[in-house]
Amino acid sequence: MGALRVGKFAKYLVSEGHDIRIVCAKDQPYAMDHPVEVPAEIIRYSRGWDVNWLPVMVQKIRVWLKGRSADSGSGDSGQEPGGSPADAAPSSADASPGLLRRVLQFYQHITNIPDSAIGWLLPALRSARAVTRDWQPDVVFASAPPFTTLIAGRIIARRAGVPLVIEYRDRWLEDPYGDEMPRFRRCLECRIEEWCARRADAIVTVSEPWAEDYRGRWGKPVRVCYNGFDPEDVVAFAGVEPVKSDKLTILYTGIIYPERRDPTPLFRALALLGDDRLKISVDFYGPNVAQLKSMADETAQQDIVTLHDGVPFAEALALQHHADVLLLLQWNNPLEAGNVPGKLFEYLAARRPVIGIGYEDGVPARFLRERGAGRVLNDPSEIAAYLRILLDRKMQDGEIPLLPEGVKAGLSRPEQYGEIATLLRDVAAAAKSE
């Protein structure tokens, strides 16, 4: 979603006639299935150094040694002649795996500051220097994560003598999905974040609760810009009806975070429907949805839940437009209040009713309530009651009708990005007038 937001913003700026240059990383470990929608000549790619090559290599060696150990003990008895399992010393691959894990974690804590992209910082600065050799920006815009980008943005803006605008697509130290870190690293990253944010002339973020925090903390102008949807991505699906089926189809597309984006309440709600649950099918598409198998098995929903690998973005959009109901998963925790996933806007653009599981007082829940687009629920009995309403409509009318056009009003990417463009223009103008 971060790639979509930044790439679509660049597309918007170019379409509006702005003169931009992009410095970004090359050969990232992500699916490269999003189209590049700006001229190639304005992009400067640079390959960073992988600071995690050592732990990756250690893990590969450990796996190889475990394989060697398994092969050497593959005789009938499973041990060397004259020996016993109790006498055998552990292989180097299995020796103190807990200690090895702690050592590798410590290595990452002292090298991945602020994140694993830090090896890209120097190549990014070299790329920016080459770009600005014969071209001068009016403003530097740095979007994070990765938060290494904000460090690069601060240095580039200082060198060029122009204002800096930073964007928080996710939180830094307050990220509810972030890993635990030792105190020394948290203190250091806190100083780095302040070093970046204090230099910024303005901040962009994705929700008002986050904006309120940044205004209070940094005393900077903050503009909220939702992820939105690109009308050009969904125009092919305008007016598309759900696939005709004798079942109510529920769809989820995206990543699963165990215990934080967890469909267990839905599975339990399905169990409350009795035989009516057989009139429902639930499909999950994503890179790690296989871990849901045990959850579906525990709640006896394996016969109506189907797990699929991740699919390209365009195919995910098509699936959303052909489903009856779309599932939104978030964490039921106040820390999630300001987290507004891009998927929400894809769902609203599809004009399908949404069942959300997550924080019921968060921004996504408010969006769904105010626009009559669905509900965020966590109690399995309440989810079951809502499913019965949808199921009755499907059985009676043969379809779940499209939601009104108004559910997506004002949420297109061009409408949202206009706010950032105005902010950049204002910041650049103010700097020139000083």
Q: What is the DSSP letter of 34?
A: S
Say if residue 261 is in the same domain as residue 185.
no
- Does 321 share its domain with 173? no
- What pLDDT was estimated at residue 84? 35
Residue 271 within any structural domain of the chain: yes
Let me know whether 41 and 118 are in one domain: yes
Helix (H, G, I), strand (E, B) or coil at 254: coil
Least confident window among 81-85, 203-207, 256-260, 267-271: 81-85
- 90-139: pLDDT as tens digits: 333 344 567 878 888 888 889 999 999 999 999 999 999 999 999 999 99
pLDDT given for residue 131 in this prediction: 95
C-alpha 209 chain-centroid distance: 18
Q: Is the dihedral of CA 24, 26, 30, 33 positive or negative?
A: positive
Paired tokens of 168 = 């928080």
Does 318 lie in the same domain as 393? Answer: yes
Same domain for 218 and 241? no
Query: Rounded distance, CA 143 to CA 170, Å?
Result: 10
* Chain segment 222-250, per-residue pLDDT in tens: 999 999 999 988 887 876 777 778 899 99
Query: Could you tell me the pLDDT band of residue 3, with boundaries at 50, 70 and 90?
Result: confident
Nearest by Cα to 233 from 400, 25, 407, 37: 37
Give the position of tokens 């309403």: 389
* Residue 321, in any domain of the structure: yes
Count of domains for the chain: 2
pLDDT at position 85, please? 32
Q: Domain with 331 in it: what CATH number?
A: 3.40.50.2000
93-102, 202-211, 296-305: range with lowest mean pLDDT = 93-102
Instruction: Provide the token pair at 149.
Output: 């980008």
Owning domain of residue 159? 2-47+113-228+414-433
- C-alpha span between 316 and 206 (Å, rounded): 22
Please check whether residues 239 and 184 belong to one and the same domain: no
CA distance 352 to 346: 10
